[in-house]
Amino acid sequence: MKKDIHPKDYRLVVFKDMSNDYSFLSRSTARSKETIVWEDGNEYPLIKLEISHTSHPFYTGKMKLVDTAGRVDKFKNRYKKHLEAREK
């Protein structure tokens, strides 16, 4: 293994899944301007997640469409002519 390639400034950080308000405390080097008071009364940096193991369909077994930017609609609009030509 190469020496001195891993960061040395790990610290405790709270990760929060914004889709279901699940939070967990872990060590990370991720930077954040936001903080949160954890269950132990201490204040930690907060990293907001769109999806975690508690909301991802692979882990939950439930199919849930997470379309925060309208990606499905953008795709359909982009290929609308192609799809209409194919149907004819």
Which amino acid, 88?
K
**13-41 average pLDDT score:** 92
The predicted model scores a pTM of 0.61
SS3 per residue for 27-77: EECCCCCCEEECCCCCEEEEEEECCCCCCCHHHHCCCCCCCCCCHHHHHHH
**CA–CA distance, 51 with 38 (Å, rounded to integer):** 20
pLDDT at 3: 87
Q: Which sequence spans correspond to the domains of the chain?
A: 11-87
Report pLDDT for 58: 62
Burial class (CB in 10 A: 0-12, 13-18, 19+), 36: middle
pLDDT score, position 68: 59
Highest mean pLDDT among 16-20, 45-49, 62-66: 45-49
Check whether 29 has a pLDDT greater than 90: yes
Greater model confidence, 86 or 19: 19
